Amino acid sequence: MWAVFFIIWYFFYTFVAVKSLRIYITAFFLTLITLSAWSAADDPILEPYVEYSPAREDPFEKQPGDEVEPQNAPLNALFHANPSNVEGAKCRYMWTVLKNNTEFLMRDDENLGYTFMESGIYTIILKATIVRDGIVYNWPDDYGGSGNVFLLTITESHLEFPNAFSPNGDGTNDYLQAKGTAPTTSSGGNGPKGIVDFEAVVFNRWGQKLYSWTDCYTYEAGWDGTYGGKTVKDGVYFLRVKAKGADGVEYNIKKAINVLTGYTENHDNSAGNP
């Protein structure tokens, strides 16, 4: 808009010979530019952002266009339109969610809450129509047409268990848990990913149930090698796991687990992998 004003002013200023008239023309266009700037400052505006909150990690915020590392499911998200200068206006918001470039969800609320449970590449688009004092504002088309797209990737699932662990209180491998799950991180490089439903049960050789848990991401949620308040004897125990991934993969793991209380971390072994 200002560029248009400048071009018109420059044309008149160049070809008008009367100096006083030049001054009036300059003052006129400066006034228009000032009024335009004031008007633009009061225009309705949206500054959207999203809050992601994985249950096992700290929440974090992102703006449209920000890079987001691939995330595990389930992932809770709350998208905010975050409007300003809309007092007395009628606002209509439209959120469109695409999965792998196919539209599958539309909402017309100011804010969009959604839990991503399936793996894939997601595109979340916000558009809005704001009517105030008879003027229609189409966002973001009337504001440069950008700043309204969020991109998100939900990873494919992954779940593995070690063959042994050493519940001896040395701070390493003290729990039977999915590979890559360590005391200081929710998911290592080879850790569980995209698991949305999980249950694990440990039995002794006589089929007696010793322990069960439903969280494959928290280190301490696994079996600590005790039963009835006492550490079990070294030997072979049996693990059964039923789980489902965000990509639809179903896991039915049955394997023997060795309890090695005498094992110490004198070797360079990673957590969950004695």
Which pLDDT score is estimated for 125? 98
The domain tally of the chain equals 3
Q: Please tell me the predicted confidence (pLDDT) of residue 132.
A: 94
Q: What is the average per-residue pLDDT within 172-197?
A: 80
Residue 215: inside a domain: yes
The residue among 269 and 19 whose pLDDT is bigger is 19
Q: Looking at residue 245, which CATH number applies to its domain?
A: 2.60.40
Q: Is residue 269 included in any domain, yes or no?
A: no
pLDDT at 13 over 60: no
Residue 44 included in any domain? no
User: How far is the CA of 22 from the CAs of 27, 31, 186, in angstroms?
Assistant: 9, 14, 70
Q: Is the pTM of this model over 0.95?
A: no
Residue 154 · residue 246 · CB < 8 Å: yes
Does 150 share its domain with 213?
no
Q: Lowest-confidence range among 28-37, 167-176, 260-269?
A: 28-37
Residues 184 and 248 in one domain: yes
Residue 16 pLDDT more than 90? no
Which residue range forms the structural domain that includes residue 22?
A: 2-33
Over the stretch 54-67, which tens digit does the pLDDT of each residue have? 877 789 999 999 99
53/36: higher pLDDT: 53
The identity of residue 227, as a single letter, is Y
Question: Are residues 16 and 76 both part of a single domain?
Answer: no
Average pLDDT of 194-215? 96
Mean pLDDT of the chain: 84
* Position 270 in a domain: no
Dist. CA 63–CA 48, nearest whole Å: 7
Residue 141 covered by a domain: yes
* Inter-residue contact 165 to 36 (CB < 8 Å): no
Same domain, 150 and 188: no
